[in-house]
Structure 1
Amino acid sequence: MTIQINDRIYLDGKLYELLSTPLKAFFESHPEIQEFSGTASNCERGYVASWRLRNNVLYLTGFQPFESTVYVDRTQVLSGTRMLADWYTGMLRIPVGPVVHRFSDGHALHEKEMHLYIENGILQNHEVKYNQRIPRDKKDNISH
């Protein structure tokens, strides 16, 4: 599998990549809106979304089709410049720090991850998970 282009999230004035895909839950809860589908191997979901966590509230601030085979009208999802992501309950994973391991398929393990626990669009809790270094093997290499 090709490494996928990640969504982006603004948090505390910084831009991070987001390993989670909360917009997928929106499409699952709105079956009347056809979900994106992409043709690019590096963005099979067909879009890249932008998010912001502000005052413990998660907002969808935009999305861009990415070689999408399905057209989704922006106004069907986003009525203004941002929308409360109250449909989303789950954990957001945000990689932080240097890469400590790169797998043979290109995926990277970062020094740590922020885990944000969201319930109906509201931050309930968060934690930082530190990843331990993984021993080098013949197929994978460690980045320095």
Structure 2
Amino acid sequence: MTAQAAERLLHKGQQLSLCTNPLEPYLNSGANPLRFQAPSTSLWRGYVGTWAIENQRLYLVSLQGYVGNMDEVKEVGLEALFPAYPQGVFAHWFSGELRCPSGALLHYVHGSYASSYERDLFIEVRRGVVGKEHEVVNGQAEPKAPEGYTLAAHTSMGNLKRN
């Protein structure tokens, strides 16, 4: 599997790469009327969410999703999935750990979110309520290593037909 585009997390005034998919439990619950389509191999889940932690709660505040088929893909936003909450929705369905890698690349893995970086911030969440967070230092990268979470695979979404 190709390395995947990260979700985004707005936390303490920063935009972080989020290598966790907090929307998956909701999508797997059967409550989702949409069927997201992978627009490229770097986005098998078919969407990128922007999340925010506000007042110790996790919110989905923006969504860039793709529906349709490989011949014709239509881009949809948060209002397509949560029509009553176009400005953001409390992620009460998510319990687990958020992982936000940072720093320079230590080891690239051509699959999912498996690459390792100098640091990982872990944030515990239970039914959308944020708990403890801690940072793990994974090592020091080579002097010219790429900084921050990026897709090292050269994939393109430019050849899609869009409505």
- Normalising by structure 2, report the TM-score: 0.72
Equivalent of residue 124 in structure 1, options 122, 131, 140:
131
Gaps of 5+ in 2: 147-163
1:92 aligns with 2:115: no
Cα 1:29–1:130 shift into 2, 3 Å = same
Give the drift of 1:32: 5.2
2:119 to 112, 119, 130: 112
Map of 1:1-144 to 2, 5 A cutoff? 1-31=1-31, 33-66=33-66, 69=69, 74-77=79-82, 79-103=85-109, 105=110, 108-132=115-139, 143=145
Contact 1:16 1:94 in 2 (8 A): yes
What is the CA deviation profile of residues 72-95 of structure 1, one whole-angstrom value per residue up to 9, with x for unaligned ones? 773442523011101100100000
Structure 1 segments, 4+ long, off by >2 Å, are 29-35, 66-78, 100-103, 105-108
Cα deviations by residue, 1:54-112 (Å, 9 ceiling, x for unpaired): 12110000111247538777344252301110110010000022222334x37631111
Q: Could you list the per-position Cα deviations for residues 3-59 of structure 1 after superposition, in whole angstroms to 9, with x for gaps in the alignment?
A: 111111101111011000011111122345244231411101111111001121100
Aligned length: 137
What SS does structure 1 have at the residue aligned with 2:43?
A: coil
Mark the runs of 5 or more structure 1 residues left unpaired by the alignment: 137-141
The one-letter amino acid paired with 1:125 is: K
Q: Provide the C-alpha distance between the structure 2 equivalents of 1:68 and 1:23, rounded to a whole number of angstroms.
A: 19
Root-mean-square deviation (Å): 2.8
* % same residue: 25
C-alpha distance in 1 between matches for 2:30 and 2:89: 15
Query: Contact 2:118 / 2:139 at 8 angstroms: preserved in 1?
Result: yes
2:82 maps to a residue whose letter is V
